[in-house]
Amino acid sequence: MRHLAVLALVFAAAQGDAPLAYRFEQVKGKVVVSSGHEERRATVGAAAFGGERVRTGLFGRAVLAVPTQACRFELFPLTRVVLASDQPGVLLELQKGKLWEV
């Protein structure tokens, strides 16, 4: 059975009670955001929120920003991430694939 490495990216500032908001700055190819049983295609300028999952397709790429933390991440093809929910200090978790902080 293949195990997925989980990478948690952390930030130093206190998170507070407000949920983190994410924004797609670039989207190329197929990028899907899912929350529970609902899925939607990501578009430039669209928002995403903690607890949601983002996955890129075979030719999909995205730049995802966290404006309140001044962070941006580039998600490469065939990548899956979970956006932070209630874990203090975590911005997102990489479940599969590759990303860069830009």
Question: How is the beta sheet containing 99-101 ordered, strand by strand?
Answer: 47-49, 21-28, 61-66, 71-75, 99-101
pLDDT at 101: 92
Residue 2 lies in a domain: no
pLDDT band with cut points at 50, 70 and 90 for residue 79: very high
pLDDT (tens digit, 9 = 90+) per residue, 13-25?
Answer: 344 556 789 999 9
**Parent domain of 18:** 7-101
Tokens of 19: 């949920």
* pLDDT above 70 for 11: no
Residue 1 lies in a domain: no
pTM: 0.81
Residue 27 lies in a domain: yes
Residue 55, beta-bridge partner list: 32, 80
Residue 74 lies in a domain: yes
Residue 79 lies in a domain: yes
Please count the structural domains in the chain. 1
Average pLDDT for 38-52: 96
